Chains A and B, each alone.
Chain A
Amino acid sequence: MTVFESARQAVDAYSENAEAWKPDHDLAMACGQLEDLLLSGIQSLREITAYHQGWQEQVLSGQQEPDLAMDQAIWDMYAWWLRPCTRVKRELRFFARQGFTVEHAAEFRDCLENLQDDRRGMVRPTTPIRPITADHVQRLASSSIDTSRYDD
């Protein structure tokens, strides 16, 4: 092999590697972007949940007036959070198939599954939450309940 051939072989190898490297690099960049997206998803869900909990505590303790519009707005925020999740799950499967370990993926899946589980069988609220009072307890005290149904 001449020096020229050897150099050409080296250039060819380099060139092929460079071509192959670029998609890998792009993929790694995309994976990093997905990880950032997952983290922001997890954090935004935490923010919604914390706000929701604080709002409920204030209403149920009488510090805030009941407000159906706010209850619905919170419900809609959860729905908005869920909207891109099908696509995000698809991307997660794609990167898993490519052999990537995607950071935050497990926590994101937990968040998603828990939220879907929490909302199962529920619909957008049509009445506001109101504080539970002595009146509620009194009115329900005479309720007829088959407690044998609840003998665990």
Chain B
Amino acid sequence: MVGKAALTVGAIVYVENVQPPQGGQGKDRRVVILRAPTADDDTFTFAVIATLRGSDPAKDEVRIPHKPIHGGDAQTSLTAPSVAVCRWVQDADITRVQSVKGKCPSITLGEIVRKVDALARPSADG
């Protein structure tokens, strides 16, 4: 099991059995942590990371840096163009974390958090 101390905001981790929002088959997925677990709480909140489709992210996505080299980007470890899906936000228990993959740059994390916040606001039409 991955230690709680490694599960900080911005950490990119592999989580097992991430459920689609409308139900269906769960799948192990790479995610970025938006709320870290605490001493009293073993759950954390994440946004799903997926491969970028097309050349630009959709309105509810934020691009995460990658490098198409062995080992991927030095910080994120991503090898393919990727996005955080800012509508696909869920909680998970720390026992579901399979491994820590990397770290989201602070600039990118800020953009993800702002977009999640904006999309969750009652007035958001997006």
Interfacial residues, chain A to chain B (CB-CB below 8 A) = 49, 52-53, 56-57, 60-61, 71, 78, 110, 114, 117-122, 125, 127, 129-137, 139-145, 147, 149-150, 152
Contact = CB atoms under 8 A, between A and B. Distances in A.
Contact of B120 (A122, A127, A139, A145): A139
A68 B45 CA distance: 23
Name the interface size band of chain B.
35 or more
B13 interface: no
A126 to B, nearest CB: 9
A132 B89 contact: yes
Q: Is the interface of A mostly helix, strand, loop or mixed?
A: helix
Contact of B35 (A78, A127, A133): A133
B75 A114 contact: yes
Given A119-B107, A132-B89, A140 B120 contact: yes
B34 interface: yes
A57 B20 CA distance: 28
B9 A56 contact: yes
A5 B74 CA distance: 65
Nearest to B8: A57
B31 to A, nearest CB: 12
A151 to B, nearest CB: 8
Nearest to A152: B51
A56 B109 contact: yes
A141 to B, nearest CB: 6
A137 B45 contact: yes
Contact of A53 (B91, B106, B122): B106
Contacts of A53: 10, 106
A56 B10 contact: yes
Contacts of B45: 132, 136-137
B110 A142 contact: no
Interface string B38-63: 10000001001011010011000001
Given A53-B10, A53-B106, A139-B122, 13 more contacts: A57-B8, A61-B9, A61-B38, A114-B74, A118-B65, A118-B108, A125-B110, A127-B117, A136-B89, A136-B120, A143-B88, A145-B88, A147-B20
Interface string B101-121: 000011111110110111111
